[in-house]
Amino acid sequence: MKIALAQLNYHIGNFEQNTQKIIAAIESAQKAGAELVVFAELAICGYPPRDFLEFEDFIRLCEESLQEVAQSCRGIAAIVGGPSRNAKPEGKNLFNSAWFLADGQVKQVVNKSLLPNYDVFDEYRYFEPAFENRIVEYKGLKIALTICEDLWDLKDDPMYTRNPMDPLVEQGADLMINIAASPFDYDHAQARNQVLHRNMEHYQLPLIYINHIGAQTELIFDGGSVALDVAGKVVAQCPYFEEDLQLVETADLLTTTPERPDFVVPEKLSVIRQALVCGIRDYFKKLGFEKAILGLSGGIDSALTLALAVEALGKDNVRAVMLPSQFSSDHSVSDSEALVRNLGCPADLLPIQNVYEAFEATLAAPFKDTQFGLAEENIQARARGVLLMALSNKFGYILLNTSNKSEAAVGYGTLYGDMCGGLSVLGDVYKTEVFALCREINKDGEIIPENIITKPPSAELRPDQKDSDSLPEYEELDPILKLYIEHRKGPREIIALGHDAALVKRILRLVNLNEYKRFQTPPILRVSPKAFGMGRRMPIVGKYLS
């Protein structure tokens, strides 16, 4: 039997588009000789639908769309992810399901057993776990059909009390098929590979795995859909971050040959770049916007953001605005101009000194007999924000925020100033990673001018200012932040790893004190295992470590 792996980019709640994409893939698979085509988890509505699932109209549209897809399944079967109703009064009203469609109708509905409720996942808020696990039989093939998390609990410290694969294997399964909505982070492809192989080794069955691609606000999906034979060798693998349709023969899954490759895991910097470009592109496309704007300071963060935005949206659709103040260095403008020339995007020069002096004159009475300080620095940042938002409103641009994760972590930014925007591109990228990504972009020739990469980082809000005046060097700061944020290590554990005790306590205090700032930031594209935003929920008024 030929089985098609359909790796597609869905749009949450766009039922017409999702349905037509699925039907088109079914038609293509059928023309190629496939008898079964497999789509991702909650494909019909997109993932994560979140509180849309609380609307009866949304569920009705899911059902109508699935019925329309079923009508196209004549001479071919399909597995499509979508919510289904729980007919029993006990439990939640919905299941997260895989719909098995054939002969123009719904043949079977398989429900997800293990519902993740951690990090970015919130499935137990909406869904009831499966009451039972039954194989799907099709043309003599016995399929152990599972949904994403159902395969992720084979570990020494299981999170759940039962494993849905066990009863399916007892029923004589020939093949595992797992449909997933597994978000990207830079370690996830390796972790996914290990999970898939762990299941294959344990159950001694070949496996087909289907994932989403594309971005849904913060969450980015890389795909990685794959068919693995009985020895865990790759029979077919879809490319990362691309829609694709791959066909495999079940006979090839049930045998193996030495020349078949292993699972391809992408290089970290390259895949982070792909993810950020995908995140920008889909945010604009799915919201119906075309053009972006950002403040270009001459620093490395705004330079990287501009380069990524041009790659995602095209040079004519990204506008760079240089906003020098009286404290800006000459090279802040000249370096920015060099970058703009390299990228070929439109740019404006709007000095803010007159704007700042107008604020200063207006505040002269209440600020009388006080010294220049943080308030005056923040006025400059907010003046820039006002000008950028004015251009955004006037011409329909979306403002891209350029703050990095290191700054966001310790509160090194101005609310309603440099922290404003419609999308945070680098909010999950540490400063040291920003430098590395710039080198990645320049690997085939200089795009980001070398001086932007090598000069000491500075906000340039007062004379001769450097980031290191207020913060530790980023080579010291970032490892401590990563241990605390990504690895959830406490101060004693971090100090025991060799970091200075006073520095650790200072940094962790800054992280927790500035939760109120991060609560007001734009959506952040998630590329790490623990990003600020929907996957990290901290109290603003907590006393712990602050």
Give the separation between CA 532 and CA 535, rounded to whole angstroms.
7
Output the six-digit token pair for 487.
């690895």
Residue among 41, 407, 433, 460 flagged as catalytic: 41
Cα three-residue angle 459-462-465, rounded to 5 degrees:
55
Cβ partners under 8 Å of residue 282, min gap 6: 9, 214, 215, 216
φ/ψ bin of 240: left (φ > 0), alpha (ψ from -120 to 50), beta (otherwise): beta
Cβ partners under 8 Å of residue 344, min gap 6: 310, 315
Output the six-digit token pair for 79.
């597995």
Query: For residue 383, which of 333, 300, 324, 464 has the smallest C-alpha distance?
Result: 324
Task: Decide if 41 is catalytic.
Answer: yes
Query: For residue 345, which of 381, 309, 372 has the smallest C-alpha distance?
Result: 309
Phi, psi torsion values for 82, nearest 5 degrees: -170, 160
Contact predicate 237/264, CB 8 Å:
yes
Maximal CA-CA distance, the chain: 87
Contact predicate 337/297, CB 8 Å:
no
Helices 268-287 & 431-441 angle (0-180, nearest 10):
90
CA distances in angstroms from 221 to 96, 129, 156, 215, 249, listed in the order given:
19, 24, 27, 6, 26
Task: Decide if 112 is catalytic.
Answer: yes
Beta strand pairing call for 244-249 and 2-7: antiparallel
Residue among 45, 62, 73, 148 flagged as catalytic: 148
Q: Which amino acid belongs to residue 252? A: D
Residue ranges of alpha helices (H) inside 72-178 are: 165-170
Residue among 2, 45, 62, 112 flagged as catalytic: 112
Give the separation between CA 186 and CA 270, rounded to whole angstroms.
10
Q: Which residues are designated catalytic? A: 41, 112, 148
